[in-house]
Amino acid sequence: MPRAARWALVLAACALLAGGGYYAWRTGFGQDSPADSLITAVAQRGDLEDTVTATGTLQPKDFVDVGTQVSGQLKKLLVDLGAIVKAGQLLAEIDPSVYQSKVDGDQAQLLNQKAQLADKQALLALAELQFTRQQNLNRENATTTDALQIAEEARNSALAQGNSIKAQIQQTESTLRGDEANLGYTKIYAPIAGTVVSQTAKQGQTLNANQQAPIVMRIADLATMTVYAQASEADVPKLHVGMDVYFTTLGGDNRRYYGKLRQISPTPTVVNNVVLYDALFDVANPNQALMTQMTAQVFFVAASAKDAVLVPLAALRPVASAGIGSGPRAAGARASSIDPRSQFANGVALLSVVGADGKVADRNVKVGVMNRVSAQIVSGLEAGERVVIGTKAPATAAPTPTGSALVPGTAKGGGR
């Protein structure tokens, strides 16, 4: 046999012996560790929030719809949309011609009545003198009783006529005050300081205030904005006045604005058969980056934990299911609950922990804050330990990603 053929035969025999030896070692001594068939995650420290999410819109906390109390043509509009105005600043003027003429007429009538009053007062003074003279003559028996009575009646008549004119003057003065007020209403002033956020009337437009006051513009103080968040009826019991809340806006680079829940509206709004309640909270807006009618993604913080030991929620099992293990039966048991967190409402759970030697052991732990992704372990587990979150699929099944699924350093959201 040629030398090369002999070498090839020797190499083939060595390879066959090596393969057989490896197979014998694998079957007799090289069994995989129990942990090799499990999917694990490493407990890490981080921040956790359990939040209720909602969508809301922004409105100024303080705003006034500025209208007119009198009818007429809008003669001047002195501010534009977006203008910043001060309290008491003149905003617009309505044509005052009609109202000025009424004031002028009242003033003229008042002057006439005051002149009549002066005449009646002069007649009263004369009647008083005549009555006094008749009284003196009557004491001397130098006049008749009829003459005395006539003088007394003349005095009383002059007094009554003077009082009548005084009443007419009071009525005219009242009318004058009303007409002067209407004349003043032709000038529209800013009731508060703020920004003109809308204008519904145009210069030259005729406004009719006989039925209701027409709105000329809206002035809003944009220094503080109110978020009107619509919470579903299922989430309302989880909210309470004073709880922390924050929101982000579209295109806001995920910047968060923080506040405290101020009010939950008792009257709902029904949208497509969904019952929604307005939850209101305020936020400072010093640079006016927030604008009216912006959309807000709102997060009500039901619970939170800082620098806590965190594990995936999938790693938890109810203590009563200790015999189930971490296999498919346990997964099925967890999936049967609408909200898996309800199984750990008593604050106690079971974890399967992988030791340094690769062995798996069940351990009772105390659970704190949870959301739909992660859970806080208050006691019973340290950061860096590995916990079981599932099992690998059999080799014949479709490939399943393996390795350690890390808990993010900060677990947010988990909206209810």
DSSP state of 94: E
Residues 289 and 362 in one domain: no
Query: Do 300 and 310 fall within a single domain?
Result: no
Q: What CATH number does the domain containing 110 carry?
A: 1.10.287
Residues 6+ apart with CB under 8 A from 81: 196, 197, 198, 199
> Does residue 205 lie within any of the structural domains?
no
DSSP SS3 for 217: strand
Question: Are the CB atoms for 344 and 318 separated by under 8 Å?
Answer: yes
Residue 236 and residue 298 in one domain: yes
Kindly provide the residue ranges of all beta strands, DSSP E only, lying in 38-162, ordered along the sequence.
38-42, 44-67, 72-77, 84-85, 90-94
Buried b (16+ CB within 10 A) or exposed e, 377-400: beebbebebbbbbbbeeeeeeeee
Do 373 and 338 sit in the same domain of this protein? yes
Closest CA to 195 of 92, 285, 83, 87: 83
Using the 3D structure, point to which of 137, 158, 184 is the last residue of a domain: 184
Do 406 and 314 share a domain, yes or no?
A: yes
116 and 170 co-located in one domain: yes
Concatenate the DSSP letters of all residues of 15-67 into one string: HHHHHHHHHHHHHHT-PPPGGGGEEEEE-EEEEEEEEEEEEEEEEEEEEEEEE
Q: Output the pLDDT for position 337.
A: 47
Residue 285: φ, ψ to 5°: -135, 60
* One domain, residues 316 and 376: yes
Q: Are residues 39 and 120 in the same domain?
A: no
In a domain, 241, yes or no: yes
217-273 pLDDT, tens digit each: 999 999 999 999 999 999 999 999 999 999 999 887 889 999 999 999 999 999 999
Looking at residue 335, its pLDDT comes to 42
Structural domain count of the chain: 3
345-351: list long-range contacts, CB under 8 Å, 24+ apart: 347/378, 348/319, 349/316, 349/317, 349/318, 349/319, 349/375, 350/316, 350/317, 350/318, 350/319, 350/321, 350/322, 351/311, 351/315, 351/316, 351/317, 351/377, 351/380, 351/381, 351/387, 351/388
Among 304, 338, 363, residue at a domain's last position: 304
Residues 110 and 162 in one domain: yes
Give the domain CATH number at 395.
2.40.420.20
Domain end call among 127, 155, 184: 184
Question: Residue 142: inside a domain, yes or no?
Answer: yes
How many H helices and E strands in the chain?
A: 4, 19
Is beta strand 274-284 parallel, antiparallel or unpaired with respect to 215-232?
antiparallel
Structure tokens at 53: 């999410």
CB half-sphere exposure, 248, CA atoms < 13 A: 9
The candidate with the shortest Cα–Cα distance to 43, out of 303, 379, 413, 414, is 379
Measure the CA dihedral 203/206/209/213, to 10°. -30
- Shared-domain flag, residues 179 and 273: no
Residue 22 CA: distances (Å) to CA of 13, 29, 32, 34: 14, 10, 14, 21
Q: Does residue 87 lie in a domain region?
A: no
The answer to whether position 42 is within a domain reads: yes
382 located within any domain: yes
293: CATH: 2.40.30.170
- Give me the pLDDT at residue 18, please: 65
d(CA 326, CA 379): 21
pLDDT of residue 89: 95
Over residues 294-309, the pLDDT tens digits come to 999 999 999 999 999 9
What per-residue confidence (pLDDT) applies to 391?
85
Residues 267 and 313 in one domain: no
Domain around 252: 54-61+223-304
In a domain, 148, yes or no: yes
- Are 337 and 396 in a shared domain? yes
- Residue 193 corresponds to which tokens in the numbers above? 């300081």
Asked if residue 397 is part of any domain, the answer here is: yes
User: Quick one: tokens of 57?
Assistant: 């819109």
CA distance 66 to 218: 6
**Splitting the chain (416 residues) into consecutive groups of 10 residues, what average pLDDT does each group show?**
61 65 53 68 93 94 92 93 94 95 96 95 93 91 90 93 95 96 95 93 89 87 95 93 94 89 94 94 92 94 93 89 44 51 86 90 93 92 92 59 42 48
**Residue-level pLDDT at 41:** 92
